[in-house]
Amino acid sequence: MKYVLFSLVLFLAMCNTNDDNDQVFCTEQFVYGLNVIVKDANTNNVITENIIVTIRDGDYEESLMNIEGNDSFFGAGERPGSYIIIVTSDNYQTYISETILVGSDECHVIPKSLEFFLQPN
């Protein structure tokens, strides 16, 4: 959750326009387009262990990252697109999302924060 709030604050500060000459000043911040939290549908507890989150946009495929101690999986770094998200685990039923659109502005992708609830096997 801290990552989501931190990302939101950074996102709001990322692109600044100067009304005097309409120039856009962008930060060098690398922004991830997708931030996914996976929860057990029965307990509502966040689950990260033995969870694989994969995204697909046409021929493009990426496994989202999870840093130990963080509740989120993140990816699609600076890559707008139309993503299908697949969440798999040996202990849960596979989840396949509807298409998730990640847009961009003049500077960066516009992050999407999502929660998916998995049914135990």
Distance CA 99, CA 70 (A): 25
Cβ(32)–Cβ(75) below 8 Å: yes
Vertex 69 angle, CA 13 and 94, to 5°: 95
State whether CATH 2.60.40.1120 applies to domain 2-118.
yes
As a whole number, the mean pLDDT across the chain is: 89
Q: Which residues of 8-22 are buried (b: 16+ CB within 10 A; e: fewer)?
A: eeebeebeeeeeeee
Cβ(23)–Cβ(17) below 8 Å: yes
The domain locations on the chain are 2-118
Specify the residue for token string 């798999």: 88
* pLDDT at res. 18: 47
Token pair for 118: 């998995």
Cβ(4)–Cβ(96) below 8 Å: no
pLDDT-derived band at 85 (thresholds 50, 70, 90) equals: very high
- pTM of the complete model: 0.80
Q: How many residues comprise the chain?
A: 121
Structure-derived torsion over alpha carbons of residues 112, 35, 3, 70, reported in degrees to the nearest 10: 170
Q: Using one digit for the tens of pLDDT, what is the confidence trace for 21-79? A: 688 899 999 999 999 999 999 999 999 999 999 999 999 999 999 999 999 999 999 99
